[in-house]
Amino acid sequence: MFFKYANMIMKYIERTDITLTRREMQILSMLCSRLSTDEICKKCGITYNGLKKHNKNIYQKLGAKNRAEAERKALQFGLIHRGRVES
């Protein structure tokens, strides 16, 4: 039920209220850079299931349902600019 209302709530949350871990920021950057799932797993040294867990956490925190929406939300919240994550 939470996910049903997450998108409505997320539009009122400011960027400062979104806290991604360092690893989540790294993965978000790679997602927005259009790297494949395999490339991200290799660069991060994690399994496919590990990446799925990170993606799930990122999507939930951003209020996104998929990779494309996560990128749009990251741009909207000022987390990335032109495919780069802001540190």
What percent of the chain is modeled with pLDDT above 90?
A: 60
pLDDT at 4: 55
With a CB cutoff of 8 Å and minimum separation 6, the contacts of 39 are: 30
Residue 51 tokens read as: 């990446």
pLDDT at 81: 73
- CA angle in degrees (0–180, nearest 5) for 32-22-9: 70
Query: pLDDT tens digits, residue range 15-57?
Result: 557 899 999 999 999 999 989 999 999 999 999 999 999 999 9
Q: Does domain 22-82 match CATH 3.40.50.11030?
A: no
pLDDT at 77: 86
- Between 85 and 61, the higher pLDDT residue: 61
